[in-house]
Structure 1
Amino acid sequence: MIRALIFDFDGLIFDTETIDFETWGAIYASHGQVLDHAQWIVGVGTRGAFDAAVELSQRLGGQPSAEELRELFVGRYRTASLAAPLRPGVVALLQQGRDMGLPMVIASSSDRGWVDGWLAHHEISHFFQGFRGREDVAHVKPAPDLYLSASAMLGVPPAECLVFEDSPNGMRAAAAAGMRCVAVPIPVNAGVALPPVALRLGTLADMPLAEILARVDPAEAPAIIGQK
């Protein structure tokens, strides 16, 4: 039985990941370079696995520096992010979770200030009963620490928590924590191979929460459900 919902943030609720990829892609192109998607995705949902600024600076012989490239990125990224909406179905699903009395928390490899700022900007902070971020654990995703910490905070066993994730690293973290996972990949990663999950959706608008819960509950459906 599912008794709690745990959500990733970047990419799942608010698609910062696509904005990140497209912004860096434009910066790479302006310097005559191509950002390799396969290389970039290694860093999605975790920290320190790939640094687009360092990679580009190294390709260009150190000029401009990684710090200068990051400054360029931040301005463009911020402008694009402020204009971007939440992903489809997010608010409706959160409302359904609240109406069903399910506690909901966020577990993100980002820091609390980053996530809190965007939750406030989109006026959805009130849906969540807690947060676990990189400052709360020794290891971020794909390690299970964030999800186990969220489970402990809620007082709900991992097997009774349902995770919603967009990145392969996050899905691996959920599996390592012993939690079932609903995969909702961002469009820019639609063709990427994913780890085994309980259910895959195109967006959170694809089906109501009650149906999602019925499909991931082992008493109601197989452990691995086919692609939707």
Structure 2
Amino acid sequence: MTGALIFDFDGTLVDTEAAVLVAWQETFRQRGGELPLDVWHTVIGTQHTATAMFELLAKDGEELDTLAIRTGVRARVTELLESEGPRPGVQDYLDDAKELGIRLAIASSSTGDWVTTHLNRLGLAASFEAVLTGDLHEAKPSPDLYLAALAALDLPASEAIAFEDSPHGVTAAKAAGLACVAVPNPITAVLNFDHADLVLGSLADKPLSALLEG
């Protein structure tokens, strides 16, 4: 019996990944360079994005004003996301889960203020019983966020389903013992999701009722 759905946030519920990538690409181009996508793919779903970007940006021991860069990137991301809503099928899943009495949680490697800001912007904050974030728990691919979500819900892994957009996220969910549905976004669609239990182009491809029927 499925008692809860646990969602990753960035790229899964909302396609923030595209905006973050664009903001960093613009930052690199302002400095006369290009951001290698193969490097970007290695940090999706983790807490290492900014660190990896700063390592690439620093040239010949140049000391970067990392605070200014972070602030600029975040402002640009916020601008790009102003009109971005949930990914296709997400609202239907949340509505159907509520109707079926299935509880909802978020397990995100991002910080709590980031996730909360966007949940409030989208009017989704009240939908989730528990929101676990990377500023309080070890980030994916560690299973800690999912284990914390299960503890908050007081449910065993066998009674929850995880939803992820990145291979790191799927690894984390599987390590915590959950079944995991991968819903890659346009950036992560080229990556390997063989370890997921199911891969969907979007949640609109398979209604929650059909998913629960197996």
TM-score (norm 1): 0.87
What is aligned with 2:32?
32
What is aligned with 2:156?
157
Task: Look up the SS of the partner of 1:189 in the other structure.
Answer: coil
Q: Aligned equivalents of 1:76 and 1:122: distance in 2? A: 18
Q: Aligned equivalents of 1:74 and 1:114: distance in 2? A: 10
Task: Look up the SS of the partner of 1:162 in the other structure.
Answer: strand
The structural deviation recorded for 1:61 is 5.3
What is aligned with 1:218?
none
What is aligned with 2:68?
68
* 1:62-104 C-alpha deviation (Å, 9 max, x unpaired): 2754333323322211211222222111111100111111011
TM-score (norm 2): 0.92
Letter of the 1:213 partner, please give it.
L
What is aligned with 2:9?
9
Q: Aligned equivalents of 1:129 and 1:96: distance in 2? A: 15
Show structure 1 runs of 5+ residues with no match: 216-228
Give runs of aligned pairs for residues 90-109 of structure 1, distance below 5 A: 90-109=90-109
Task: Look up the SS of the partner of 1:18 in the other structure.
Answer: helix
The structural deviation recorded for 1:119 is 0.7
How many aligned residue pairs are there? 214
What is aligned with 2:122?
122
What is aligned with 2:210?
211
Task: Look up the SS of the partner of 1:164 in the other structure.
Answer: strand
Show structure 2 runs of 5+ residues with no match: none
C-alpha contact 2:162 2:178 (8 A) present in aligned 1 = yes
Matched, 1:187 2:204: no
Structure 1 range deviating more: 40-49 or 95-104: 40-49
Letter of the 1:7 partner, please give it.
F
The structural deviation recorded for 1:207 is 1.3
Q: Which runs of 4+ in 1 moved over 3 A?
A: 63-68
C-alpha contact 1:141 1:169 (8 A) present in aligned 2 = yes
